[in-house]
Amino acid sequence: MNTQNKSTALSAELNNFIYGVSRRNFQNAPDLTKIGISLLRNFPAARDAVLEYFAMVFHDAVNVSINQTDYESDPSANGSLESVSMIGPELCNMGESWAPFIAPWCINLIMDIATEKANLPNATLQNTDPVRVLLDITTQNLTLLNSDERAKCIDMMLGCRACSWAVGWVGRAEPALVAPRALALGAESARAVLAHLANHPPALYHVRAALVDLFQEAIKEDSKADKKREVIPYLLNLASKSDIVLKALTQDIEQTLTDEVMDRLCVVCAAHRHSGPWEGVGPSSLVALLLRSDVHCFLLLLKHAQRNLFCRQLLEYLLQKLEYECLFPDANIPLVMSAAEEINIIREKLLIGNQLEQYSIARILILVSYNLPSEFVSTISYLLQYSRNDTTLALLVRIVSGTISMHTPGDGTDINMDTERYQNFIKTGVEYALRDAMISDTQIKKYFIEDTVTKDAKTYLHHFCLNIVKLLRWERSGRVSALRTRWAARAVEASVGRLGAALRARAATLRAPTAAPPDMRTCHALAEVLDNIDMSGTKSPPPSVEVILKVVQATVQYFFRCINEKDIMSKIRGIQTASRLLRKLCLHSKLARAVALRDLLETAMFREDKVFGSRTVVANTISSPRDWHNEELLIYMNQKHGPITQLTQSHTSVFHAGIIGKGVRKRDSQDGEDAPPVLTLNNELLMGALMSCMDGNSGIVEGSTSISLLLVELVSPDVMYNGLPWPDEDFTKQVSIERELYMRCAVERCGVARAALRRAARARPALCLASALLRATAASLLHRARAHLDRHTQSPEMARELAALTELLSVMTLGQLLPHPLSHILELAPELTPSEIVQVLRDCIWNYTRDHVPSPALFTCDSSGLHWRDPSTCKPPATYTDTLRLIIQKRISKLGHMYPIMFLNLEKDS
């Protein structure tokens, strides 16, 4: 039953195949190809029909490959190409029994295609995928034939003039069989004379002159070509036996083998390659000569390999032979040594050459790096600096991975040691590239006019950073197998300190407003490199504390350079990069967090204060001497207000309209006006950078605590009275009022300090540590509001005092330093008179905080990590709320709506 089913299925397949082929439609070629392959395996009698159909498919596929544009709309085009990709592996693996049938079929098919496409260049036909598949099938099956059968197949190809390129391709696998039949030999020359002269090195010039004359005579077009056809193989054979002849032939070879000479030489070789004297001029003999020559011969071979098929085949054979010979420990190949001596020419050619030249030179550089580690380091440094596209950067990856793989074979016993050794070489190459790029940029700035640099110009350091970033991205993608060992990332991570120093130096030069745009782009590139480096210690050892601190300081400088940028998109991108860097650096290091917070606050408050809307602090400063009129002096201005201003302890003499040495205080143009949007944005970006230094709830509380302590340290003029307790009101009036005024002035004029206080208030325990700043504002508000009672109740000064009170109350309320109902004073403040403000400040806020010291111990931490005060346990006694109750009752018509909100719950509880 099974046999009957198989026969039925086979018959159905045969019918389907015959029906499909008869339709002459290649749109269903993949299906028919699958059926044909099945018939070859299960029904050998259909061999001729199936192979004939396969030949039709190959012919159609060749036409599609050559004329891609003509077949774009043809749905059968892809079908033919897909069928070819299925036929190749199947015919290569049919076995020895099928080789005598498949090999001649392939050769006949190649001959038919070559004859049909004889008007096309050999390189164009050879590079098509169907022809390459045919050549692979032919090569695989020829190895399964005996010598006689292989000879017949080779003779078949040699009989067709149009497929000489196929002979060369197949001959790479069978050089001993192809060479005797492809080349003809002969012998006639003055060998004795040349051999005798070649034994004397001083006669090199004469030998060279004679050899060049003989060579030129051999390729000259005249009627004696038959007699001179043996000269060229003779010269090659002689050079293979004599080093001095080889040296004479290869000296200044670019001048000898010019394009015109090469054209004539190709004609001569094409005309006489089947003669007897040319039998010894095979690929192996030419490669043996090239191995002993200098690198200029190799470069000349690269030049002509683009348009000459034989040169291309010879190039591949040469590179394979070099790679094999270099594996021996004692190998000392002259071509490799010459490439090392002319390494600058080789590297330059690697950057500007075509694709074939680049990939061939990369293989030579792998061999040079294998023999000379110093050149390995310098090659890495060179390509990191001067690579300008993905191709040359990919060649760097290939050179590095190829060199390492040659040194660390899979069965070696010292793999780890060799890998670590070459990792150190890579690290040194990265360091050299960074150093040389910075030196190059410095020299360019020194010797050239900076104003002539275009806006789009990139520095050497910028290109270096772009190449590093691209390597790191390739590595993280996981698609480049040669980068899976993280050799690029480990090398860059070892240079974190130098990269940080470079970023810091570049950012420092940008403080001048006339800095060149390329410098800022270089800073962005350096920051991007640092942002792509893993500094957590999970994949490699973490950087040292010294390195981390250097990078933190450099990142802070880079942040402020980005703040000053005018292009909003570049500004935001740069600040986001800086914030990510700060987060990574501070994540595992409390010291880095402390340094970052201090640098950010100090720089924003004192060195870059104008960018954040801060005004210059003029308190306690002395103006330049000048002649003052009596009506301009502050003492005379105060005397106009009455005799009370002359008392030594009078608050009006302190708070009146000016500063000693400066005259009458003029209202600042910015008072009462909102900050420009860019200043608000800058403050928000700074606060975001500060928050980036903190990670998690514990990190936010700890970081906010550091911010509070830093604010007190930076604002307070001394270390006295910086504790948490609030003293009696009389103490501030009699002892520390000047200190309180100075601190309030410093905070009010510094937008960064006010924003940082609000940030600290969000992490509630942290605001307690800034109690000195809150106390200073409250004390100055209390005394100034009391001073205004005798004068203008609606003066601009009072309006500013009310604004300061509102900000103080909002910060204290946000930080939960004022419990209910004191927290609602913020809503009452705009409606209070100066006298009521004095009462509320003294009786409610000051007395409460004096008796209930703002301390982190008042706050509890819940399971989510949030710190807060339980309202049920912190109700203020009536002593601190009666003043508010009386004020509301007194002005019930205007403030009555606040009474149930503030006191209803208190009365119920009581």
Instruction: Kindly list the structural domains of the chain, giving each domain's residue range(s) and its CATH number in brackets, ordered by start.
Output: 1-146 (no CATH), 429-607 (1.25.10), 694-909 (no CATH)
Lowest mean pLDDT among 109-123, 383-397, 481-495: 109-123
CB neighbourhood size of 100 (10 A) = 16
pLDDT cut 90: percent of the chain above it:
11
Structure tokens at 97: 């029994």
15-66 per-position pLDDT tens digit: 667 666 666 666 677 777 787 777 777 777 777 887 887 888 888 888 888 8
Q: Would you say how long the chain is, in residues?
A: 910
Reported confidence tier of residue 200, pLDDT bands at 50, 70, 90? very low
Under 8 Å between Cβ of 395 and 349: no
CA torsion through residues 331, 332, 333, 338, sign: positive
Name the residue type at position 298. F
Q: What is the mean pLDDT of the chain?
A: 76
Name the residue type at position 217. E
Structure tokens at 909: 């509880």
Name the residue type at position 581. L
Under 8 Å between Cβ of 677 and 580: no
The DSSP letter of residue 663 is E
Under 8 Å between Cβ of 507 and 558: yes
Asked if pLDDT for residue 178 goes beyond 70, the answer is no
How far is the C-alpha of 512 from the C-alpha of 503, rounded, in Å?
Answer: 16
866-877 per-position pLDDT tens digit: 777 766 677 888
Structure tokens at 540: 């490699």
Higher per-residue pLDDT: 210 or 543: 543
Burial 690-702 (b: 16+ CB within 10 A, else e): bbbbbbeeebbbb
Task: Please give the pLDDT value at position 5.
Answer: 58
**Three-state secondary-structure class, residue 658:** strand
For residue 154, give Cα distances in angstroms to 161, 164, 176, 179: 13, 11, 12, 10
Whether the predicted model's global pTM rises above the 0.75 cut: no
Lowest mean pLDDT among 170-184, 226-240, 455-469, 893-907: 170-184
Higher per-residue pLDDT: 738 or 45: 738
Under 8 Å between Cβ of 812 and 846: no
Under 8 Å between Cβ of 559 and 600: yes
Q: Give the mean pLDDT of 255-278.
A: 71
Task: Please give the pLDDT value at position 52.
Answer: 82
Task: Please give the pLDDT value at position 192.
Answer: 32
Task: Please give the pLDDT value at position 98.
Answer: 84
How far is the C-alpha of 364 from the C-alpha of 283, rounded, in Å?
Answer: 19
Asked if pLDDT for residue 672 goes beyond 50, the answer is no
**Three-state secondary-structure class, residue 485:** coil
808-846 per-position pLDDT tens digit: 888 888 888 888 888 888 888 888 888 888 888 888 888
Reported confidence tier of residue 669, pLDDT bands at 50, 70, 90? very low
Strand partners, 659: 663
Smallest Cα–Cα separation from 542: which of 553, 550, 534?
534
Lowest mean pLDDT among 43-47, 466-470, 566-570, 601-605: 43-47
Within the chain, what is the greatest distance between any pair of CA atoms? 133
Structure tokens at 375: 């050149």
Higher per-residue pLDDT: 405 or 409: 405
Under 8 Å between Cβ of 251 and 208: yes
593-652 per-position pLDDT tens digit: 889 999 999 988 888 888 887 766 444 333 444 555 555 555 665 555 544 444 444 444
How far is the C-alpha of 612 from the C-alpha of 619, rounded, in Å?
Answer: 20
Structure tokens at 351: 């950057």
Asked if pLDDT for residue 228 goes beyond 60, the answer is no
Half-sphere exposure of 196 (CA within 13 A, CB side): 4
Asked if pLDDT for residue 892 goes beyond 80, the answer is yes
Q: Which backbone phi and psi does 217 adopt, to 5 degrees?
A: -70, -35
Asked if pLDDT for residue 169 goes beyond 70, the answer is no
Strand partners, 867: 861
Under 8 Å between Cβ of 253 and 235: no
Lowest mean pLDDT among 227-241, 274-288, 327-341, 773-787: 227-241
Q: Which backbone phi and psi does 663 adopt, to 5 degrees?
A: 85, -160
Under 8 Å between Cβ of 515 and 509: yes
For residue 855, give Cα distances in angstroms to 96, 807, 846: 92, 21, 15
**Three-state secondary-structure class, residue 494:** coil
Under 8 Å between Cβ of 554 and 500: yes
How far is the C-alpha of 499 from the C-alpha of 543, rounded, in Å?
Answer: 12
Higher per-residue pLDDT: 412 or 555: 555
How far is the C-alpha of 893 from the C-alpha of 897, rounded, in Å?
Answer: 9
276-328 per-position pLDDT tens digit: 666 667 778 888 888 888 888 888 888 888 888 888 888 899 999 888 888 88
How far is the C-alpha of 899 from the C-alpha of 507, rounded, in Å?
Answer: 57
Burial 411-421 (b: 16+ CB within 10 A, else e): eeeeeeebeee
Under 8 Å between Cβ of 778 and 846: yes
DSSP per position, 23-48: TT-GGGHHHHHHHHHHHHHH-GGGHH
